[in-house]
Chain A
Amino acid sequence: MVPVNYYIVLSAILFSIGVVGVLVRRNALIIFMSVELMLNAANLAFVAFSSVIKSFSGQIFVFFVIAVAAAEVAVGLALIVEIFKSKRSIDVDQMSSLKG
Chain B
Amino acid sequence: MVIMTLDLIFFLALSLIAVATALGMLFSRNAIYSALFLVLNFITVAVFYLLLGAPFIAMAQITVYAGAIMVLFLFVIMLLGAEALPTTEVLPWQKPLAGLLAATLAVEATFIFITRARPEGGIVAPDIAVNTVTNLRELGNTLFTQYLLPFEVTSILLLVAMVGAIVLVRKEKRVH
| A contact set with B: CB distance below 8 Å | 1-10, 12-21, 23-27, 29-30, 32-34, 36-37, 40, 43-44, 47-48, 50-52, 56-57, 59-60, 62-64, 66-75, 77-82, 84, 89-91, 93-94
The interface on chain B, measured as residues whose beta carbon lies within 8 A of the other chain's beta carbons, has a size of 81
A28 to B: closest C-beta gap in Å: 9
- In the complex, how many angstroms separate the beta carbon of A25 from the nearest chain B beta carbon? 7
A21-B26, A24-B95, A33-B35 as given contacts; A56 in contact with B142, CB under 8 Å: yes
List which B2-50 residues lie within 8 A (CB) of chain A.
5, 7-8, 11, 15, 18-19, 22-23, 25-26, 31, 34-35, 38, 41-42, 45, 48-49
Q: Taking chain B's interface residues, is the majority helix, strand, or loop, or is none over half, making it mixed?
A: helix
Given contact pairs A7-B123, A44-B45, A56-B143, enumerate 10 new A-B contacts (beta carbons under 8 Å): A6-B8, A7-B48, A19-B101, A27-B85, A47-B48, A66-B64, A69-B64, A71-B161, A74-B72, A74-B161
Cross-interface CB contact of B23 among A17, A47, A68, cutoff 8 Å: A17
| A67 contacts B157, C-beta separation under 8 Å | yes
* CA A53 to CA B77, docked complex, whole Å: 41
Looking across the interface, which residue of chain B has its beta carbon closest to that of A82?
Answer: B168
Q: Are B54 and A73 in contact (CB under 8 A)?
A: no
Q: A1-B124, A36-B38, A44-B45 are in contact. Are A79 and B168 (CB under 8 A)?
A: yes
Question: With the chains together, A72 CA to B57 CA distance in Å?
Answer: 19
Does B129 have its Cβ within 8 Å of any Cβ on chain A?
no
